[in-house]
Structure 1
């Protein structure tokens, strides 16, 4: 069994499983406290009204928290590999967008 596919788009990280479930993650600097990162979740196009936070310099913590949340929605075969892939996607997403 393989982990879900991760795609980094301009504004979002999209995670798609073989069961055709899709989570969309939006990572940004939190408006109230820019020293924190915020990762918001949506399933397909529906906002899940859920988020995880970390300090802006601790993207590994944000990846761990996001992966923990993702596991509630999608089957993950290799949690360590998924966490690494989510971290890489978060870093790529933040690099590709200006800080707001």
Structure 2
């Protein structure tokens, strides 16, 4: 069994499972406390009104928290590999956008 597919788009990270369920993640610097990163979730086009936070210099912690949340929605075969893939996607997403 494989982990869901992760693609990094300009504004979002999209995670798609074999069952065609899709989560969108939006990672940004939290406006109220810029020292924190915020990861918000949407399923298909519906906002889930859920988020995870981490220190702005601790993207591995944000990836762990995001992966934990993702596991509630999608089957993940290899959690460790998924955390690494989410971390790489978060880093790529932040690198490709200016800090707001």
Per the TM alignment, residue 55 of structure 1 is displaced from its structure 2 partner at its CA by 0.4
CA RMSD of superposed structures (Å): 0.1
CA distance in 2 between partners of 1:13 and 1:52 (Å) = 14
CA distance in 2 between partners of 1:80 and 1:54 (Å) = 19
CA distance in 2 between partners of 1:55 and 1:99 (Å) = 15
Alignment pair present for 1:5 and 2:2 = no
CA distance in 2 between partners of 1:77 and 1:32 (Å) = 36
Per the TM alignment, residue 43 of structure 1 is displaced from its structure 2 partner at its CA by 0.1
- Structure 1 residue runs without a partner (length 5+): none
SS class of match (1:25): strand
CA distance in 2 between partners of 1:35 and 1:97 (Å) = 17
CA distance in 1 between partners of 2:86 and 2:45 (Å) = 20
TM-score between the two structures when normalised by the length of structure 2: 1.00
TM-score between the two structures when normalised by the length of structure 1: 1.00
Q: Give the 5 Å matches for 1:2-81.
A: 2-81=2-81
Per the TM alignment, residue 17 of structure 1 is displaced from its structure 2 partner at its CA by 0.1
Per the TM alignment, residue 6 of structure 1 is displaced from its structure 2 partner at its CA by 0.0
Per the TM alignment, residue 93 of structure 1 is displaced from its structure 2 partner at its CA by 0.1
Per the TM alignment, residue 60 of structure 1 is displaced from its structure 2 partner at its CA by 0.1
Per the TM alignment, residue 33 of structure 1 is displaced from its structure 2 partner at its CA by 0.3
Per-residue displacement from partner, 1:7-57 (whole Å, max 9, x unpaired)? Answer: 000000000000000000000000000000000000000000000000000
- Structure 2 residue runs without a partner (length 5+): none
